[in-house]
Amino acid sequence: MENKEKLRVALLFGGNSSEHDVSKRSAHNIYDAMDKDKYDVALFLMTKNGIFLSEEASKRVFDGEPEDQVVAEELPKLDMSNPLAPIINLGNTENIDVFFPIIHGNLGEDGTIQGLLRLLNKPYVGSEVLGSAMSFDKDITKKILNLAGVRNTDYVLLTPQTAERYTYQELADKLTPTLFVKPANQGSSVGIHMVTSEAEYTSALEDAFRYDDKVLVEEAIQGPEELEISILGNYHPIASVVGAIKVPSEDEFYTYDNKFVDASQVIFDIPVDIPVELSQEITEMGLNAFKALGLRGLARIDFLVSEDGVPYLGEVNTLPGFTNISLYPQMWEKSGISYVELIDRLIRLAEDEYDHQAKILHDFKALDPKDQDI
C-alpha cells in the first residue's frame, strides 16, 4: 500500500438484516475509537432495503437525523432503472484506502459485500468471499468443522422438501429430547427456537423457514455454559482470553433481546474462571476452526460447554458486533489490546492481506504462459 499522511477508511454500516441498528451502533463505536490523526473516515450507510446512500447522506444519518426521512429524500435521486443503483454511491471511492464493513447478517457477513469490495480492488477488514460465505451458513460451517476434527453439535438438516420426513419424536430419538431449531443463514438468534414437543417443533419449523430454505435441528447440550473467544490475525492468528455469558435464569439461551435490546440482566465474565485445560482446548478449537474456514482478520467464536466439561463449537461470527456491550472488543481489552489498538491492527491486517493477494496475482502473471495451463 502507498504510504500517506492519513489513511482514508470507509465504514460501511447498516444493512438489510435484523441487525441494522446494531450495525449503526457498532459503526459509532469504531468511529469514536479511530485515531483521527491517522485516519480520515468516510461513512456509507446501507439502507434497510439494501441501497448505499451517498457519503453526505450517510453522515446525516450517522449524526442523528431520522434515517427514514433521509432515505425518503435521497432515493428519488437514484435512477432505480439502473441495475447498479444500489451500489452507485460507492462508484466514486477511488480515494478510499481501506474499507471497514461492519454490516452484520445478510449481505454483510455472507460474502456479498466482500465480493463487491474485491471487484473494487480495495483492501477491506475481515474475511474474504469464501470464508465469509462458509461461516455464515451453519450447515456448511459444520461440514468443514467435521472435516477438520473440531467438535460441534450433532444435527439434522431440513429443507421444505425433506421436512415432512421427520416428526419431533423421530428427531428427539435421534438427537436429544430437547432440540434447537435454527435457520442455516441467520445471525443473532433470529428464528431460533428451543423445542420439547411436537407442537413446539411444528411452530418453530414454520418460523425458521420464514428466514431460510435450510433449517438445522440440533441436539441440546446438557447444562451448557456459553463461552466465547475472539480471534485476530490472518495466517498466524492469535486468540483472546475466554469469556462467558450468564443469561437471566428465565431465559434458556442467549436470545436476540439479551444481545441487543436489554442486556441489563446479562453478566459478562471475562476472563472466565475455568480449568486451564478447558481454556487451552477452547483456544485450540477456535484457532483450528478459524484456519479451516480460511478466515482473515477477525472472528468471534461461540462455544457450549456441557455439564461434564466437554466444549462444543457453536457458531462462528466473522463480523462480530462492536457495540459497548459486544464481546469481541471486550475480550481483547481483557487480553491487553485496547479498542484503539484493535482497530489499528484490523486495518493493518486488511492491508497485509491485500498486499499478499496482489503479490500472488503478480507472481502468477509473471509465469511463463505454458506454466499457467491446467
Concatenating the DSSP letter of every residue in 151-213 gives: -B--EEEE-TTTGGG--HHHHHHHS-SSEEEEETT--TTTT-EEE-SHHHHHHHHHHHTTT-S
Catalytic residue among 23, 132, 135, 188: 188
Average pLDDT over residues 153-175: 96
What sections of the chain are H helices per DSSP? Answer: 20-33, 55-62, 67-74, 112-119, 129-136, 138-148, 168-174, 198-208, 256, 276-292, 327-333, 339-366
State the fold for domain 7-125.
Rossmann fold (3.40.50)
Query: What pLDDT, on a 0 to 100 scale, did the predictor assign at position 260?
Result: 44
Catalytic residue among 19, 109, 128, 218: 19
Ranges in the chain annotated CATH 3.40.50.20: 7-125
Percent share of the chain, pLDDT over 90: 81
Average pLDDT over residues 328-346: 96
In DSSP terms, which residues pair with 227 in a beta bridge?
244, 303
Ranges in the chain annotated CATH 3.30.470.20: 222-337
- Is 341 labeled as catalytic in the residue annotation? no
Catalytic residue among 17, 135, 326, 335: 326
Average pLDDT over residues 167-190: 90
Does 261 have pLDDT greater than 60? no
Mean pLDDT, all residues of the chain: 91
CB 230 within 8 A of CB 319: no
* Residue 263 three-state SS: coil
- Which range among 110-119, 243-252, 276-285, 347-356 shows the weakest confidence by mean pLDDT? 243-252
Residue 302 annotated as lining a ligand binding site = yes
Does 259 have pLDDT greater than 80? no
Ranges in the chain annotated CATH 3.30.1490.20: 154-219
CATH of the structural domain 222-337, one choice from 3.40.470.10, 3.40.50.1970, 2.60.40.10, 3.30.470.20: 3.30.470.20
* Residue 334 three-state SS: coil
Q: Which of the four pLDDT bands, split at 50, 70 and 90, describes residue 245?
A: confident
- Which range among 52-56, 103-107, 181-185, 264-268 shows the weakest confidence by mean pLDDT? 264-268
- Which range among 122-126, 261-265, 348-352 shows the weakest confidence by mean pLDDT? 261-265
Average pLDDT over residues 255-265: 50
Query: What pLDDT, on a 0 to 100 scale, did the predictor assign at position 323?
Result: 87
Residue 110 annotated as lining a ligand binding site = no
Q: Which of the four pLDDT bands, split at 50, 70 and 90, describes residue 374?
A: very low
Handedness of CA 73, 74, 77, 81 (dihedral sign): negative
CATH number of 154-219: 3.30.1490.20
Q: How many residues does the chain have?
A: 374
| CA dist., res. 25 & res. 4, Å (int) | 29
Average pLDDT over residues 366-372: 61
Average pLDDT over residues 254-270: 61
Average pLDDT over residues 114-123: 95
Cell of 147: 472435516
Whole-structure pTM value: 0.90
Average pLDDT over residues 72-101: 94
Residue 315 annotated as lining a ligand binding site = yes
- Is 188 labeled as catalytic in the residue annotation? yes
Average pLDDT over residues 317-326: 91
- Is 19 labeled as catalytic in the residue annotation? yes
